[in-house]
Amino acid sequence: MNNFKVWLMMAGLSVILVLIGNAVGGSNGAMLFFLISLGMNFFSYYYSDKVAIKMTRSQPVSEEEVPELYAIVRRLTQRAGLPMPRIYITPSPQPNAFATGRNPAHAAVAVTEGLLRILNKTELEGVLAHELAHVKNRDVLVGTIAATFAGAISMLANIIQWGAIFGMGRDDEEGGGSMIGGLLLAIIAPIAAMIIQMAISRSREYMADEDGARFAGNSGGLSNALLKLESAAHRTPMQVNPAASHMFIVNPLSGASMARLFSTHPPIEDRVKRLSELRV
């Protein structure tokens, strides 16, 4: 199912790019943006994890630097039947975490500096188990490709908007849609990309919560961690590209009111309620 979602998302976001190209440059623009979408599909499949790591400014850490973190991840991967992922630290005071990679053999797990400071061992284990559940369920490829495409579409849309402001592009006599149409599409495209992210992300968070609680052997650690993380996110929003926000265990932008309109995460109270009803 997740493989199907990946191909469906690639197709959907490619259509958005082709529509942008058509609105700006007619059939020639559509063909150019179609070729760009093919290149983006290839790049995002094989290198989206590196893009996600760079977007969040995460840095690799060795076992000598964080032995307890490695010990927890190693114990959980053995329970889940997963290979050991690469471990990263994200330089942010907000407690949060995410996983990335195209498959379990190329996975990476990143935790913020704030996460390591405020969670106890049981809560940290719950968060890491949640992220490894995403790896096990092969959710991370969907999330990282969505981040790559959404970021690229937003960037292209911004270029088109500025081009329209300064009178760049062709007029109606040259065929195809007008620059006004291109401007409108440039505004709509990032919203469409975000809607695709939302449709993919919400249900997978519930599943990762449940599977993560089973990997950890209890649901209490993750429940307590989610409540702490949500409270901290309101106080300390993370400085992160919005295109990557859906990858985190809680919305890192939840401190901003506009960001909540495009939240890719289910309400924390619903997640905690489901975990409290789970028998592990």
Question: Which of the residues are catalytic?
Answer: 131
- Helix (H) or strand (E) run with residue 111 in it: strand 108-112
* DSSP 3-state of 130: helix
Do the beta carbons of residue 165 and residue 15 sit within 8 Å?
no
Do the beta carbons of residue 190 and residue 154 sit within 8 Å?
yes
Q: Which residues of 27-60 are buried (b: 16+ CB within 10 A; e: fewer)?
A: eebbebbeebbeebbeebeeebbebbbebbebee
Which tokens is 115 given? 């996460």
Spell out the residues 6+ positions from residue 99 whose beta carbon is closer than 8 angstroms to its own: 85, 107, 108, 109, 110, 131, 132, 134, 135, 140, 247
* DSSP 3-state of 57: coil
**What's the burial of 12, exposed, middle or buried (CB within 10 Å: 0-12/13-18/19+)?**
middle
